[in-house]
Amino acid sequence: MPIVDDFEEHRPMLLGLAYRLLGSMWDAEDVVQEAWLRWQATDHAEIREPRAFLVTVVSRLALDQLRSARVKREAYTGPWLPEPVETAQAGPLDTAELRDTVSYATLHLMERLSPPERAVFVLREAFELPYDEIAEIVGSSVANARQLHHRASVRLAQGRDRFHPSSEEHTELLTKFIRAAGGGDLAALTELLHEDVVSYNDGGGKVRAALRPIVGRKKVATFLVALQARYAFKGWRFIEVNGMPAVATQVGGHPQLVMIDIRDGRISEIYGVLNPDKLARVGLA
């Protein structure tokens, strides 16, 4: 069945595209399923390039969903963080751009972008589409698509290192962090944190978590030590999430996934996902 074969050939790429646009694999799967229904209902004699057709359909569906999702996320209990996924579920990661745009820190940063900015950035950076095709997908002029990409690039570059640490460096710093936090070592913890570090905790109203981001080295270190004193960190182990190492652990009897971002050799962001609805893709729910 050529129609099925053509779609299935592109499914992993389409899931990766929708996930980058939405930050949720649950929503990405819904979008790709809707794209499949539209693909079935289309006269295929009129489709010259199946990949281009499917990328357009998925991008537009994801854009529509992203606009409505932003309203829901504004009413979310506490900070909204993307749904983490095991690296193998993130679609092809054949290029540095594909890997970077699926990294957890990048997905979180992309929440700052408008839906059109996010779509243009992902389509250009990760999937290397020409501006004329991107403009058609998002319904803008080519000049405006270029401007949207420039704006998105500038906003995402603010406060980030030009050079990303290796997986080994990332693992080493994450290990030191977990040991210091788990041992309640305030001095060691403070030394690992960037001066402007921010800690985000997503419980989604289902698990108790800080309702606002915690900002600054002293406040974050104090918060983590106090948290460890009240709720022991148990059974931590490494798993690979969104292309980088992360730590799965138990806090107060609840599973938690901890990820970090690094700037100037220190931890600049800490992401703690406790909402069980967001932990199924990493086997923790």
Q: At what angle do helices 167-182 and 217-230 cross, to 10 degrees?
A: 60
* Among 21, 10, 30, residue whose Cα is nearest residue 124: 21
> Is the pLDDT score of 35 beyond 70?
yes
What average pLDDT does this structure show over 210-229? Answer: 94
SS3 state at 255 = strand
pLDDT tens digits, 40-55: 988 888 888 999 999 9
pTM of the model: 0.94
pLDDT of residue 5: 79
pLDDT of residue 2: 67
SS3 state at 214 = strand
Is 266 exposed, middle or buried (CB count within 10 Å of its CB: 0-12, 13-18, 19+)?
Answer: middle
The token pair at 187 is 């001095």
pLDDT tens digits, 46-84: 888 999 999 999 999 999 999 988 878 888 999 999 999
What average pLDDT does this structure show over 247-276? Answer: 94
What average pLDDT does this structure show over 245-266? Answer: 93
pLDDT tens digits, 12-28: 999 999 999 999 999 99
pLDDT tens digits, 168-186: 899 999 999 999 998 889 9
pLDDT of residue 177: 95
> Is the pLDDT score of 1 beyond 60?
no
pLDDT tens digits, 102-119: 999 999 999 999 999 999
pLDDT tens digits, 184-208: 899 999 999 999 999 999 999 999 9
Specify whether the CB–CB gap between 19 and 85 falls below 8 A: yes
> Is the pLDDT score of 162 beyond 70?
no
What average pLDDT does this structure show over 262-277? Answer: 95
Is 51 exposed, middle or buried (CB count within 10 Å of its CB: 0-12, 13-18, 19+)?
Answer: middle
> Is the pLDDT score of 242 beyond 80?
yes
